[in-house]
Amino acid sequence: MAMIDHAIRAANRSDCLLALFPYQNGALFNALPSAGAFDRSWQNTNCWLTPDNIQVAPQGFSALDPTQLAGIKTHLDLRNNQTGKTFIVKAFCPSHSDSDLHIHALITQGSHSGGASLQTFQFVIWERPGDFKLRGYIVNSNAAFAGTAGNLSAADFDSFHIFAMTVDMESRPGKMLIKLYKDGQLQASTTQVYSPWNSPVDGSLTGNLAVRQDSDQKYVAGNTVQWAMVFDSVLTQSELQLFR
């Protein structure tokens, strides 16, 4: 429990848009009483997860059935976003021994199967033999990807790590600065032309935290997530290193 104390405190920051923790035997619920009771409408900023398609254990939450789609629907909708954001997740990504591409979705908005036109942003891990990437992409208003990728290793699977993506849309006029981190260490960065984020017409695809496996798309792999947070600001590397 002590390892997530900072994350729980950070959930009370005024710039925290979303903070998701598993509810297990009341422990985390009592640690953050301001979160209120579990709300299936996802209107509360801080949500304690016990929905039907999620299984909860002391180490985190994951898809209940590995053969079915299990995405967590939240109130968060970043279509047409024009300000800086930070996405941070503590996740366990299981490794695979086959030769297929497996995409471990951390936080996304939109459909992986629909290409850029049905996505607003994606923060994912790609896993295939000899090729492991932490990838963060913004879909701009012209439905084109803008982002970067950082190399991971096989050792980054089958254990918990903290992955973060920051998108700075204010510090450089006309530019977006996208950075990816693992355990507080910078993995990749890129500067792209500023653009509002894409606005897919399918509103049912908004606000998804994608701890999922999908029988229709075998490459979308499931994760176990201990906590996930979104901030309406760009956290510095020093701030990110406080999360454990």
| Tens of pLDDT, residue by residue, the chain (244 residues) | 445 677 778 877 888 888 877 655 544 443 343 443 333 333 344 555 545 566 666 677 776 666 555 556 666 788 899 999 999 999 988 898 888 888 888 888 876 666 777 788 888 899 988 899 999 999 998 888 899 999 999 999 999 999 999 999 999 999 999 999 999 999 999 999 999 999 876 655 555 555 555 444 556 677 788 888 889 999 999 999 999 8
Q: Where are the domains of the chain?
A: 2-230
Contact 63, 222 (CB under 8 A): yes
Q: What is the pLDDT of residue 216?
A: 46
Can you tell me the distance from the alpha carbon of 26 to that of 164, in angstroms, rounded to the nearest whole number? 27
Q: What is the pLDDT of residue 98?
A: 85
pTM comes to: 0.85
Instruction: Look at domain 2-230 and name its CATH class.
Output: mainly beta
Can you tell me the distance from the alpha carbon of 123 to that of 154, in angstroms, rounded to the nearest whole number? 19
